[in-house]
Amino acid sequence: MNVSEALNSRYTCRAFKPDPVGRETTLKILEAATRAPSWANTQPWEIFVAAGKVLDEIRQGYLDNYRKGINRNPDLPAPQRWPAALQKRIEELGAKRFEAMGIDREDTVARQVLLEQNYRLFGSTAVMYLCMDRSLTPWSVFDMGSLAESIMLAAQEQGVDSAPAVMLVAYPDILRPALDIPDDLSIVLGVALGYGDPDHPQNRCRSPRRPLQEVVRLRGY
């Protein structure tokens, strides 16, 4: 698989099969992914991987919090609002996912069931939690994004599907004791890994991309 093939075949998997990702495969993914670039080779990342019983305990803790109505509290605060064009794309993707699932927007019960899947961590069998020192700036967050993309592409080469999601880091108070994450690290992002269920309607939904002529401004060509 070349890089273009990995980029085009990768998607955000929201329904995984129960088959575990083995330790050796996980290490192969990380060995490749940690070649990601960073500012002056600072390599600001600390990576905590949860699988097996540890991940099951995290999953149950997330579900319990959700059902109790406990608000998400990620270390990096979510945006309070999005520019209009970005908000429109968010809404369009939501509508596309509801359509793929056969869920009417007015069906609040079905929508709640779908939302709960986020707190089940999409049924993934491993999650990589990407952390960095709290003192670092958004420039290092850029490096963390580079690492996350590298993880997903390396996973794709290994036949492993992935899902980067803020929901995976919704409850730091659950993650820290489960994974021995020290307080001086921010839990930036989670990347769920596993083998996607191709028959699940959520996995048949693909998000569109803006055409290049809308995104790119070329000069001097």
What local confidence, expressed as pLDDT, does residue 49 receive? 98
Residue 35 lies inside a defined structural domain of this protein: yes
Q: Which amino acid is at 180?
A: D
Note whether 162 and 191 are within 8 A (CB): yes
Residue 101 lies inside a defined structural domain of this protein: no
Q: What's the domain count of the chain?
A: 1
What local confidence, expressed as pLDDT, does residue 94 receive? 87
User: Which residues constitute the domain of residue 13?
Assistant: 3-79+120-206
**pTM for this entry:** 0.93
Closest CA relative to residue 132, chosen from 182, 177, 185: 185
What local confidence, expressed as pLDDT, does residue 95 receive? 86
Q: pLDDT by residue for the chain (221 residues), tens digit each?
A: 899 999 999 999 999 999 999 999 999 999 999 999 999 999 999 999 999 999 999 999 999 999 999 999 999 998 999 999 999 999 999 888 888 888 887 777 777 777 888 899 999 999 999 999 999 999 999 999 999 999 999 999 999 999 999 999 999 999 999 999 999 999 999 999 999 999 998 898 889 999 999 999 999 99
Residue 113 makes CB contacts below 8 A (sequence gap 6+) with: none
Closest CA relative to residue 194, chosen from 127, 140, 144: 127
Residue 107 lies inside a defined structural domain of this protein: no
Residue 47 lies inside a defined structural domain of this protein: yes
What local confidence, expressed as pLDDT, does residue 107 receive? 77
Residue 34 lies inside a defined structural domain of this protein: yes
Residue 106 lies inside a defined structural domain of this protein: no
What's 175's domain CATH number? 3.40.109.10
Strand residues in the chain grouped as ranges (E): 46-51, 126-133, 161-165, 185-194
What local confidence, expressed as pLDDT, does residue 141 receive? 96
What local confidence, expressed as pLDDT, does residue 108 receive? 78
What local confidence, expressed as pLDDT, does residue 104 receive? 81
What local confidence, expressed as pLDDT, does residue 204 receive? 86
Q: In what order do the strands lie in the sheet with 161-165?
A: 46-51, 126-133, 185-194, 161-165
User: Following DSSP, what letter does each residue of 41-95 receive, concatenated?
Assistant: G----EEEEEEHHHHHHHHHHHHHHHHTTPPP--SSPPPS---HHHHHHHHHHHH
Residue 221 lies inside a defined structural domain of this protein: no
Residue 111 lies inside a defined structural domain of this protein: no
